[in-house]
Amino acid sequence: MIQDNINKTTGTILLVEDEPNIAKLFNFNLSRAGFHCEIANNGKEGLKLAEKIKPDLIISDVMMPEVDGYEFRRLLLKNPELKQIPFVFLTAKGEDDDILQGFDLEIEDYIIKTSSPKVVIAKVSAILKSLEKERVKVVDEVQKAADSMGAKVVPDEFPKTEGFQIKHWHMPFKNIPGGDFIDYFQMDDDHLAIILGDVMGKRWGAWYFAVAYAGYVRSAARFVLESSNDYQPSHILQKVNESIFKDERISEVFITLSVIILDTKNKIARYSGAGDLPLIYKSKNVERILSKGVLLGFSKAGEYEDHELKLKKGDELFVFTDGITEARNVKGELYSEERLMKFLQKLDPDQDTIEQIKKELAQYTGGEFDDDVSVITVKVL
């Protein structure tokens, strides 16, 4: 066995190699060691595949047609997301100049093609284990920071409102406080504000900022709601937007926000959004309601608009973050908004909606997510 003294490891590896026999050999040995391996024939194909599958590690040949390994690496470094993926050169050469050129491109290591399978697997495992230890350390620090700040971006309980069932599902990426946040605010006896937000760019290196920004925006929204008796969500959004626009520390952060003001007495929902994904309204059919408001803080005039819905028994509303629609299956295919709408159309009204959504996403992704996952459902009883 290749792994005599190596713990079985899982992860997705992108192998970029133009020689079929070498690609087959490495694919066989990596797969046997417990890795999922995807293969591209050159740097051009490798870039497209890397964007699609977001592998845990990239192993690339140096000498290839069209786009060689060095140019491939330079292209990856220009992409803020892909440059974070650990990169290893696979080469038949071992000259100092080649090795130094590779390390100038911020690679993790070199693997010589003639290395034994045990050496290859040992190197790959060591790189991924080292990165995992670093990630665990940062995650622990982020968790402590979040705890020390008293970060609370998702309520522990669902709001209890007569005539409505309101629930949410929130699963932070890798179980670390991230950029999604949910809040409910009882404005008066007949009006409940429902808020869902998302701070963009929250890969694990930026979690310090994501959880802080999420708490900041949530607090800003609460402050506006506490000092207002305005039941127009577009006005609420505009006031939050003005607050963020004036603050240089946060004005350039990508933040989306969905606001629903629920008139529980008259069964009316008013919705407005800032750069968010659409509200989905399910009655007899499933309808997509898209807000045209810009991301929070990008413009002093947010151009937010209200959408009013007269609800009846059995109707449902759904707001969600992109962790739902951008969830991927093992082939790297996005779940997509279209697939979500088709699924919501087929919901069993006698079963719990949130549990059905959880099951659907778990089956599609195999339980592996690349981002925070958040959804709020409102059902008229």
Same domain, 359 and 210: yes
Looking at mean pLDDT, say which of 26-30, 158-162, 292-296 comes out highest. Answer: 158-162
Please indicate, yes or no, whether residues 232 and 107 belong to a single structural domain of this protein.
no
Q: Are residues 97 and 207 in the same domain?
A: no
Q: Which of 77-81, 89-93, 218-222 has the highest mean pLDDT?
A: 218-222
Residue 204 lies in a domain: yes
- Rounded CA separation 72/107 (Å): 12
Do residues 200 and 335 share a domain? yes
For residue 236, is it within any domain?
yes
Residues 16 and 161 in one domain: no
Positive or negative CA dihedral for 94, 97, 102, 103?
positive
Query: For the segment 327-358, what is each residue's pLDDT rounded down to a tens digit?
Result: 999 888 999 999 999 999 999 999 999 999 99
Residues 362 and 226 in one domain: yes
Please check whether residue 2 lies inside any domain of the structure.
no
- The pLDDT tens digits of the residues spanning 37-73 come to 999 999 999 999 999 888 989 999 888 888 888 999 9
CATH classification of the domain holding 128: 3.40.50.2300
Instruction: For residues 244 and 116, state if they share a domain.
Output: no
| pLDDT higher than 60, residue 149 | no
**Domain boundary pick from 111, 129, 145:** 145
Domain that holds residue 137: 12-145
pLDDT at 129 over 90: no
User: Which of the listed residues 110, 145, 180 is the one where a domain comes to its end?
Assistant: 145
Please check the confidence at residue 191 and state whether its pLDDT lies above 60: yes
Q: 32 and 64: one domain? A: yes
The model's confidence at residue 251, banded by pLDDT at 50, 70 and 90, is low
Domain end call among 120, 145, 170: 145
Among the listed ranges 22-36, 73-87, 107-121, 125-139, which one has the minimum average pLDDT value?
125-139
Query: Is residue 132 located within the same domain as residue 209?
Result: no
290, part of any domain: yes
Do 270 and 222 share a structural domain?
A: yes
Q: With respect to residue 91, please indicate whether it lies within any of the assigned structural domains.
A: yes
CATH number of the domain that residue 245 is part of = 3.60.40.10
pLDDT band for 176, please (50, 70, 90 cuts): low
237 within a domain of the structure (yes/no): yes
Domain membership of residue 7 (yes or no) is: no
How many structural domains is the chain composed of? 2
Please tell me whether residues 116 and 245 are part of one structural domain. Answer: no
pTM above 0.75, yes or no: no
Q: Could you tell me which residues are beta bridge partners of residue 54?
A: none
- Shared domain for 97 and 212, answered yes or no, is no
Return contacts of 69-78, CB within 8 angstroms, 24+ apart.
69/16, 69/43, 70/101, 70/102, 70/105, 71/43, 72/16, 72/42, 72/43, 72/44, 72/46, 72/47, 73/102, 73/105, 73/107, 74/105, 75/43, 75/47, 76/47, 76/50, 77/105, 77/106
Mean pLDDT taken over the chain:
85
Burial of 229 (0-12, 13-18, 19+ CB in 10 A): exposed
Residue 6 lies in a domain: no
- Choose between 165 and 104: higher pLDDT: 165
Cα angle value 168/170/173 (rounded, 5°): 170
